[in-house]
Amino acid sequence: MKNQSLCLAWLVMFVGALTICPIAHAEEAEVPQGYNTPEATYEAARDAFNARDWEAFVSIVSPASRDEVIGQMALAMAAMAQQAGSDPRLRALVDEYLPRNLNPMDYTMRDNAEAETIRLAKRIGDPEGFFVEAMSLIFAMQYSQDELAAPEDAPEEGVGDSGSTAGEGDSDEEATQTLDAEITALDDLTIDGETATAMVTITTSTGDQRDPWTFEQHEGKWYLSMR
């Protein structure tokens, strides 16, 4: 599905990994949580990601970049919800949290797109709550898509998206494994004043991938920067 591809492409850029998570409702937003070192920040982000604890994860994002991150997510979710055949849960989430008649193209085509994206995040009544539910929904949609690819009562001659026949060889466990991902290592950490960069290893069922992460200091504490 087209909306599925856009969803996954955005996620790869956003967190550098794919996983699954049950939908959770955020009753109370997490306060920003800074750490004394980039290593400690990484460990907290790793633990939150691996536990699929998006409330904890968003609290580790730098206050200086959090609005921009949430605004970008809002535009991505709104764009996916507008596509024909999109998951109805996307529209429900957009209707609950985002301004009515939001057109993502109105933001991306402006000269001051970054400032407008930040302003959009500030218009969301519960931005951290939106982040938590959006992340949970994105991963839940991917899980549901794989579940639908090989339902228990599917005829053996059915063919899934991968082109393989849906039969005894396509188990639910195999479909789930393709989505599994864990952050496993931090390497090449370099600190330069109030910023730091490192390579983070994400281990999946198909192998390891290394992604660059950036950390930044804000009021004496280190946070994950997702600019």
Q: Which of 169-173, 183-187, 196-200 comes out lowest in average pLDDT?
A: 169-173
Q: Which of 9-23, 61-75, 97-111 comes out lowest in average pLDDT?
A: 9-23
- Could you report the per-residue pLDDT of 41-81, keeping only the tens digit for each? 999 999 999 999 999 999 999 998 899 999 999 999 999 99
Calpha distance 102→100 (Å, rounded): 5
* Residue 57 forms part of a structural domain: yes
* Residue 74 forms part of a structural domain: yes
- Domain range for residue 119? 2-14+31-180
Look up residue 122 and give its two tokens: 């500030």
Q: Which DSSP category does 169 fall into?
A: T
* Residue 124 forms part of a structural domain: yes
The CB-based long-range contact list for 200-208 (8 Å cut-off, 24+ gap) reads 200/16, 200/42, 200/46, 202/16, 202/17, 204/17, 204/18, 204/180, 205/177, 205/178, 205/180, 206/178, 208/184
Q: How many domains, in total, are found in the chain? A: 1
pLDDT value at residue 204 = 82
Calpha distance 156→112 (Å, rounded): 53
Compute the Cα dihedral for 61, 43, 136, 154 and give only its sign. Answer: positive
* Residue 166 forms part of a structural domain: yes
* Residue 102 forms part of a structural domain: yes
Average of pLDDT values for 82-101? 92
- Could you report the per-residue pLDDT of 106-158, keeping only the tens digit for each? 887 888 888 999 999 999 999 999 999 998 888 777 654 444 343 344 444 44
Count the Cβ atoms, other than its own, within 10 Å of residue 102. Answer: 18
* Residue 167 forms part of a structural domain: yes
What average pLDDT is seen over the chain? 76
Name the pairing type of β-strands 195-204 and 207-218. Answer: antiparallel
Look up residue 134 and give its two tokens: 């959006």
pLDDT at position 208 over 70: yes
pLDDT at position 195 over 80: yes
Residue with more model confidence, 13 or 190? 190
Average of pLDDT values for 203-211? 88
Residue with more model confidence, 57 or 206? 57
Q: Do 97 and 130 touch, CB atoms closer than 8 A?
A: yes
Residue whose entry in the numeric block shows the structure tokens 């951290």: 128
* Residue 36 forms part of a structural domain: yes
pLDDT at position 19 over 60: no
**Reported pTM:** 0.69
* Residue 213 forms part of a structural domain: no
Question: Percent of the chain having pLDDT more than 70?
Answer: 69
